[in-house]
């Protein structure tokens, strides 16, 4: 199994801050890494797929980078609506898909 | 746009079978462009992929659940279903259905249903 480990598990930030979340895979997964945002009581929503491709309709303040084992989700200027939990998900080991443990972004 | 909606009992007794359905609107489960999947989320284990089904009926399951899971398709109703047998309290979770976007080895989930809480308790 390929494990994906996110860090940090939670963070506190202010509106306007630059926020970075990392995801590390237990082995190389090329660029088969996706990022989701989940708000309380809602389903996750895809933000970025293939490590760096922004899903249609997602604000450009979100960006993704990385390949191999280390990946980053960056929010360039945190907005009030961005306070949520973020998950990464690998699909290199298709069909066995796994998620990271999540990063909760809270208001400082 | 495509919408998915889960339905089924919110309470299941230990050792019984959890059964959920996912209705798809504004899209077809017969499309060869997508898989259809179940994912669950519990406080103790985060997000866990359960399995998916293709329009042909072929399936793939999470190895940790494979012995207890069946996912099936009902083209006439444009829905797909999940059965999880011999449930225990560890199967208590919010269950989501979703569409799987396929591009080579790339797989991601979009959109998702709203989710339904299933509690296993006597």
pLDDT for position B103: 86
Q: What percent of chain B has pLDDT over 90?
A: 91
Q: What are the chain B neighbours of A96 within 8 Å (beta carbons)?
A: 49, 60, 62-63
pLDDT for position A94: 82
Two tokens, residue A90 = 């690998």
pLDDT for position A32: 96
Encode chain A (108 residues) as per-residue pLDDT tens digits: 899 999 999 999 999 999 999 999 999 999 999 999 999 999 999 999 999 999 999 999 999 999 999 999 999 999 999 999 999 999 998 888 999 999 999 988
Inform me whether the C-beta atom of residue A58 falls under 8 Å from chain B C-beta atoms: no
Interface test with B, best of A2, A41, A43 (most B CBs within 10 A): A43
Inform me whether the C-beta atom of residue A53 falls under 8 Å from chain B C-beta atoms: no
Regions of chain B where pLDDT drops below 70: 44
| DSSP per-residue string spanning A30-59 | TT-EEEEEE-TTS--EEEEETTTEEPTT--
pLDDT for position B44: 67
Interface test with B, best of A6, A44, A87 (most B CBs within 10 A): A44
- Interface touch B112/A43, C-beta < 8 Å: yes
The dihedral through the CA atoms of A24, A31, B48, A37 has a sign that is positive
Distance CA A52, CA B9 (A): 39
Q: Which residue has the tokens 């293939």?
A: A50
Query: Which residues fall within 8 angstroms of residue A73, CB to CB, at 6 or more apart?
Result: A20, A21, A22, A23, A35, A47, A48, A62, A63, A64, A86, A88
């Amino acid at each position: 199994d390929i494990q994906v480990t996110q860090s940090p598990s939670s963070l506190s930030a202010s509106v306007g801050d630059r926020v970075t979340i990392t995801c590390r895979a237990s082995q190389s997964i090329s660029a088969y890494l996706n990022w989701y945002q989940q708000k309380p009581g809602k389903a996750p929503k895809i933000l970025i797929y293939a490590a760096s491709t922004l899903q249609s309709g997602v604000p450009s303040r979100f960006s993704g980078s990385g390949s191999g084992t280390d990946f980053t989700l960056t929010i360039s200027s945190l907005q009030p609506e961005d306070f949520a939990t973020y998950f990464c998900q690998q699909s290199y080991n298709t069909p066995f898909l796994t998620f990271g443990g999540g990063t909760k972004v809270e208001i400082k | 746009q495509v919408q998915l909606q889960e339905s089924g009992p919110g309470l299941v007794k230990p050792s019984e079978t959890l059964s959920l359905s996912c209705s798809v609107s504004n899209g077809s489960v017969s499309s060869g462009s997508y898989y259809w999947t179940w994912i669950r989320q519990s406080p103790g284990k985060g997000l866990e992929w359960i399995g998916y089904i293709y329009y042909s009926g072929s399936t793939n399951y999470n190895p940790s659940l494979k012995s207890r899971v069946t996912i099936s398709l009902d083209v006439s109703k444009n829905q797909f279903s999940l059965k999880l047998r011999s449930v225990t309290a560890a199967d208590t979770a919010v269950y989501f259905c979703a569409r799987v976007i396929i591009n080579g080895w790339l797989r991601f989930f979009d959109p998702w249903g709203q989710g339904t809480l299933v509690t296993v308790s006597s």
